[in-house]
Amino acid sequence: MSSKNILTDTFGRKHNYLRISLTERCNLRCTYCMPAEGIQLSPKESIMSYEEVYTIAKEFVHHGVTKIRLTGGEPLIRKDAALILEKLASLPVELAITTNGVNVDRFINTFKDLGIQNINVSLDSLNEEKFRHITRRNYFKKVHENIFKLIDHGFHVKLNCVLMKDFNEDEIIDFIRLSENHLIHTQFIEFMPFDGNKWNLDKLVSYDALMERVYHEFSKEQVLRIADQPNDTSKNYQVKGYKGTFAIISSVTNPFCDSCNRIRLTANGQIKNCLFSSTESDLLTPLRQGKSITPIIQKTVQAKFKSRGGMDTLEKLKDPTLHSKNRSMITIGG
């Protein structure tokens, strides 16, 4: 198989988007991401060094990756985060980052110098008390200030909001109204099942339920459907006259698997061909042994299921024995 086909799976999907987790650690403790009892962190020696991150990324770029997004844990708590950004920015890719926003003010000049424009900030509530409840930390004011610093400095800012029934669904309209006068894009994400996050379908705020709230507040003439980009995971909208936009990522009720172009690299050097996949392949060990990682990448991409790691029905998704085999979200990297 030629190198141009190595990232194309058996369903014809071309994987040109690599998401790299830099760390399993985080300075927040979000309930849907990390189990309340915490997680067993990988030993320090099994976490990729900055050279290993770069070497693996370069291999993916050689085979057709054109976009890299850094995730965590919280990527900006790594001491060598700026160095990793600098190394990856030397590759011919669009470089982006997802952060919880706590430390983002320290990196604004680094982002500018390296041409990093797209910053996603995870924020599940605009209410300080709720923020403290979901994150188990008290950084609301800092995060809020940093989001607006990014906007003021001209970055393309997306807010990632995981919706949970009876918790933050009443804030949907508040998030949308943020985009009235600010060039900000809110992505509402359906609550997804991972090990230890006590997921069940009753906590889900579906795409239909979300849009019902939107149309209760705005007329259908006011809510404009925006053309989605190729491989978009979201359905995008804009309220007429608003500066910013909003979108729904309906991974559970209306998955976007047919156009998926993503592959994930965990902080301890495993690749996952799907966020929902319970299996992964070790790249770090063979890399350290001086072996080629190309056959492993190829085999992993070829093994990708058509939909949600094989959980192609809601019935399968409801089966905890299937999704509890997956990692906690914090050790995958979103």
The pLDDT tens digits of the residues spanning 118-168 come to 999 999 999 999 998 888 788 999 999 999 999 999 999 999 998 988 889
Tokens describing residue 224: 């404009």
Q: What is the pTM of this model?
A: 0.88
Mean pLDDT, residues 52-60 taken together: 98
Number of domains in the chain: 1
Mean pLDDT, residues 243-252 taken together: 89
Q: State residue 232's pLDDT score.
A: 79
Q: Based on the number of CB atoms within 10 Å of its own CB, is 12 exposed (0-12), middle (13-18) or buried (19 or more)?
A: exposed
CA–CA gap between residue 112 and residue 263 (Å, rounded): 26
Mean pLDDT, the chain, whole residue set: 87
Q: State residue 202's pLDDT score.
A: 74
- CATH number (domain holding residue 73): 3.20.20.70
**Among 80-94, 181-195, 206-220, which stretch is predicted with the lowest mean pLDDT?**
181-195
Q: State residue 196's pLDDT score.
A: 43
Position 282 confidence tier, pLDDT thresholds 50, 70, 90: very high
Q: State residue 130's pLDDT score.
A: 92
Q: Do the Cβ atoms of 21 and 52 come closer than 8 Å?
A: no
Q: State residue 333's pLDDT score.
A: 52
Expressed as residue numbers, the domain containing 265 is 3-331
The pLDDT tens digits of the residues spanning 3-34 come to 458 999 999 999 999 999 999 988 777 766 66
